[in-house]
């Protein structure tokens, strides 16, 4: 078990429906990272922006973007994750892909479709959460709109880190910051939220506000409004374990069953 996990989130002004340009940008940022990086987190739909035109950018699991992620993970000896548009068995998915340094691939399909943008009309929703075991840490990766649904994010699996990748617009950015902290507090877990900046083809503006918060909901790292760059934080598992045991809040959580 590795007690300290060094995580990085990359906040970008995503090029609209242009995977090649986006991958070039992220690779340039990755090339500047320190050698002790353990995990790199990219935004939601990091190859395209939040598009409802999946036919233009969708890839297979053996496509160029997954191959690029594999290359980044194995050559740099870190894990990398982010969501992108995947085509599979006649369906389109907003799929988070988590790739280990060993090349092992794990996936999570976004559970909550953003109906305000008709995402539910275009993409097939997922039905299962993913808990990644990485360097002794249990990690739960979720996507954007999932942040508004605390039951889905509830820490019933004793995870150590909750990840949210997003294209969360400026008009609702207060909710983004507030809910990231709420998820951390109620689940007594580290949380990293990685958002995008810029303006997309639908004229929606994004200010980013990517941040890392600890198990008390305290900010440990944050990017400024509209800043293109990286967010870094070192998470300490024994600190979180100690406070969970001391407070005992998770022992008192309600039991429930999610009906899909």
Which residues is 142 bridged to in the sheet?
164
Are the C-beta atoms of residues 160 and 138 closer than 8 Å to each other? Answer: yes
What is the model's pTM?
0.97
In the CATH scheme, what architecture does the domain 4-252 have?
A: 4-Layer Sandwich (3.60)
Is 110 in the active site?
A: yes
| Per-residue pLDDT at 225 | 86
* Residue among 17, 81, 144, 237 flagged as catalytic: 144
- Pick the catalytic residue from 17, 44, 59, 119: 44
pLDDT at residue number 185 = 98
Mark whether 44 is an active-site residue: yes
* pLDDT at position 86: 98
Catalytic site residue from 17, 59, 81, 110: 110
Residue 259's pLDDT is 82
Mean pLDDT split into 10-residue runs, the chain, 260 residues: 97 98 98 96 98 98 98 98 98 98 98 97 97 98 98 97 98 98 98 98 96 98 91 98 97 88
Domain ranges of the chain: 4-252
């Amino acid at each position: 078990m590795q007690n300290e996990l060094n995580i990085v989130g990359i906040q970008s002004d995503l090029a609209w429906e242009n995977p090649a340009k986006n991958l070039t940008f992220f690779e340039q940022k990755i090339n500047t990272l320190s050698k002790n990086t353990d995990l790199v987190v990219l935004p939601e739909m990091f190859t395209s922006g939040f598009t409802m035109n999946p036919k233009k950018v969708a890839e297979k699991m053996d496509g160029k973007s997954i191959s690029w992620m594999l290359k980044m993970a194995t050559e740099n000896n870190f894990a990398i994750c982010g969501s992108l548009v995947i085509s599979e068995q006649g369906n389109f998915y907003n799929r988070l892909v988590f790739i280990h340094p060993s090349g092992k691939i794990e996936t999570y399909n976004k559970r909550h479709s953003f109906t305000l943008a008709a995402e539910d009309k275009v993409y097939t929703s997922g039905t299962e959460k993913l808990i990644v075991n990485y360097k002794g840490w249990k990690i739960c990766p979720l996507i954007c709109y999932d942040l508004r649904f605390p039951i889905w994010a509830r820490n019933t699996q004793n995870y150590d880190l909750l990840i949210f990748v997003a294209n969360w617009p400026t008009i609702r950015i207060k909710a983004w910051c507030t809910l990231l902290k709420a998820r951390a507090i109620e689940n007594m877990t580290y949380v990293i939220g990685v958002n995008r900046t810029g303006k997309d083809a639908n004229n929606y503006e994004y200010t980013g506000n990517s941040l890392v918060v600890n198990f008390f909901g305290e900010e440990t790292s944050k990017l400024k409004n509209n800043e293109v760059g990286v967010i870094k934080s070192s998470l300490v598992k024994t600190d979180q374990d100690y406070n969970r045991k001391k407070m005992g809040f998770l022992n008192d959580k309600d039991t429930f069953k999610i009906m899909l």
